[in-house]
């Protein structure tokens, strides 16, 4: 009887205690107190040995029921508390999607890249292939196959960064001409442009940079004439500088073209009236070009009696400076974000 009394007491105490449990930690303490090894329930269990078999059965059953009861109460409360704690956590960590976002600054397209892309697209639309060549080039391709043998005085006009006796940073994109002609074993017609970086041992100033870019063009086929070159360059000049532009050819000299020309475009600012951009001449020089020298054709495996070709080379820096009114080439390479942003009309900040 006394034992039944104890069971009732434990049970009452459990029910009053569990009402005050407010967290999973407290619930764990309660579980240890009522179901743990040192709990009163456990103590009562050890008293079973003293009982008559009949009573023992009865008592054991009561203890067992009580334990199962406690366990299910604790389990039920645990589920409830777990959900509550999760909800509290979710509430605390809620993301406010209406808060202003951190601004991510994205870059714009560099003005030189813009000019290169624009010119490349124009040529690609006319059926040219875009090819690239190595920036570390051999003397053979950069000079010799372009009709500039060792000791040729014109080498001095392109002060070069030599890496070894034979290797240098290319001073022009023209070596890609020789590479393309030599690689073309079947001697099928060639129509290529090659944009890329070039290097010369120049002292940097407002119009010189030791690293700059060029776009090379080469067309080789039967019956290519100066008229084809003129027509092609006229289209380019109009596309880049406006549809009313005229082009003018002046005789010039490049070792790998004969005849060689320099090409001027009528001033896009003053329309030949004379202004500061064209230095009052009405004309602006934009590129060098010419008919591929027979020596170059022969060295690259072409029969110069059968094939002719034209080549041209232009400087994207100069074109960008003219187009955008930039007066110092160094601006392209000093990466001042305020300068670069001016050429990107899209909003850079997300």
Give yes or no for a contact between 217 and 128, defined as CB atoms under 8 angstroms apart: yes
Given candidates 111, 255, 290, 316, which one binds ligand PHE under the rule CB under 6 A? 290
| Contact flag: residue 196 with ligand PHE (CB under 6 A) | no
Q: Which residue has the tokens 């001449």?
A: 281
Nearer Cβ to ligand PHE, position 30 or 321? 321
| Contact flag: residue 209 with ligand PHE (CB under 6 A) | no
Rounded distance, CA 237 to CA 312, Å? 13
Interacting stretch for ligand PHE, rule CB under 6 A, among 188-196, 228-236, 282-290, 335-343? Answer: 282-290
Interacting stretch for ligand PHE, rule CB under 6 A, among 16-24, 106-114, 311-319, 337-345? Answer: 311-319
Provide the 10 A C-beta neighbour count for residue 224. 19
Give yes or no for a contact between 140 and 257, defined as CB atoms under 8 angstroms apart: no
The end-to-end CA distance of the chain, in Å, is 79
| Contact flag: residue 142 with ligand PHE (CB under 6 A) | no
Q: Least separation, in Å, of the C-beta of 292 and ligand PHE?
A: 8
Q: Least separation, in Å, of the C-beta of 137 and ligand PHE?
A: 13
Q: Least separation, in Å, of the C-beta of 217 and ligand PHE?
A: 7
Q: Name residues whose C-beta falls within 8 Å of residue 206's C-beta, 6 or more positions apart in sequence.
A: 327, 328, 329, 330
| Contact flag: residue 312 with ligand PHE (CB under 6 A) | yes
| Contact flag: residue 311 with ligand PHE (CB under 6 A) | yes
Give yes or no for a contact between 141 and 281, defined as CB atoms under 8 angstroms apart: no
Q: Name residues whose C-beta falls within 8 Å of residue 314's C-beta, 6 or more positions apart in sequence.
A: 119, 214, 215, 286, 287, 288
Nearer Cβ to ligand PHE, position 59 or 128? 128
Given candidates 147, 257, 266, 308, which one binds ligand PHE under the rule CB under 6 A? 257
Binding mask 172-191 for ligand PHE (x = CB under 6 A): x-x-----------------
Using CB under 6 A as the binding criterion, the count of chain residues that bind ligand PHE stands at 11
Kindly identify the residues of this chain, within the stretch 237-256, that bind ligand PHE according to CB under 6 A: 254
Rounded distance, CA 204 to CA 206, Å? 7
Max Cα-Cα span within the chain: 129
Q: What are phi and psi of 310, to 5 degrees?
A: -125, 155
Interacting stretch for ligand PHE, rule CB under 6 A, among 38-46, 93-101, 285-293, 298-306? Answer: 285-293
DSSP-derived 3-state class of residue 4: helix
Interacting stretch for ligand PHE, rule CB under 6 A, among 128-136, 230-238, 309-317, 333-341? Answer: 309-317
Rounded distance, CA 120 to CA 192, Å? 10
Q: Least separation, in Å, of the C-beta of 338 and ligand PHE?
A: 31
Rounded distance, CA 173 to CA 199, Å? 10
Interacting stretch for ligand PHE, rule CB under 6 A, among 25-33, 127-135, 287-295, 319-327? Answer: 287-295
Nearer Cβ to ligand PHE, position 27 or 146? 146
Q: Which two structure tokens, joined as six digits, stand for 237?
A: 């000049």
Given candidates 289, 300, 320, 322, which one binds ligand PHE under the rule CB under 6 A? 289
Closest-by-Cβ residue to ligand PHE is: 313
Phi-psi region of 65 (alpha: psi -120 to 50; beta: other; left: phi over 0): alpha
Rounded distance, CA 265 to CA 291, Å? 19
Q: Which residues of this protein are in contact with ligand PHE, per CB under 6 A?
A: 172, 174, 216, 254, 257, 288-290, 311-313
């Amino acid at each position: 009887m006394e034992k039944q009394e104890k069971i009732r007491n434990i049970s009452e105490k459990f029910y009053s205690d569990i009402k005050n449990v407010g967290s999973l930690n407290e619930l764990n303490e309660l579980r240890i107190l009522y179901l743990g090894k040192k709990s009163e329930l456990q103590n009562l269990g050890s008293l079973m040995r003293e009982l008559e078999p009949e009573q023992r059965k009865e008592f054991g059953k009561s203890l067992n029921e009580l334990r199962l009861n406690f366990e299910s109460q604790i389990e039920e409360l645990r589920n409830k508390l777990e959900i509550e704690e999760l909800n509290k956590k979710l509430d605390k960590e809620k993301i406010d999607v209406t808060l202003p976002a951190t601004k991510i600054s994205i870059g714009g397209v560099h003005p030189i890249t813009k000019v290169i892309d624009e010119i490349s697209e124009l040529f690609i639309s006319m059926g040219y292939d875009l090819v690239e060549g190595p920036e570390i080039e051999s003397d053979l391709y950069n000079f010799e196959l372009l009709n500039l043998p060792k000791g040729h005085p014109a080498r001095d006009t392109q002060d070069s960064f030599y890496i070894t006796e034979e290797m240098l940073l290319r001073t022009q994109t023209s070596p890609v001409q020789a590479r393309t002609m030599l690689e073309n074993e079947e001697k099928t017609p060639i129509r290529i442009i090659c944009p890329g970086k070039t290097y010369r041992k120049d002292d940097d100033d407002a119009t010189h940079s030791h690293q700059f870019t060029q776009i090379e063009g080469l067309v080789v086929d039967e019956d290519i004439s100066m008229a084809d070159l003129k027509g092609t360059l006229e289209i380019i000049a109009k596309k880049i500088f406006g549809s009313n532009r005229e082009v003018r050819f002046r005789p010039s000299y490049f070792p790998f073209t004969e005849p060689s020309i320099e090409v001027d475009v009528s001033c896009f600012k003053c329309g030949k009236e004379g202004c500061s951009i064209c230095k009052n001449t009405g004309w602006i020089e934009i590129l060098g070009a010419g008919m591929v020298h027979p020596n170059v054709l022969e060295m690259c495996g072409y029969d110069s009696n059968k094939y002719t070709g034209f080549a041209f080379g232009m400087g994207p820096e100069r074109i960008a400076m003219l187009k955008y009114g930039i007066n110092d080439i160094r601006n392209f390479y000093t990466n001042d974000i305020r300068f670069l942003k001016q050429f990107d009309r899209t909003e850079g900040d997300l």
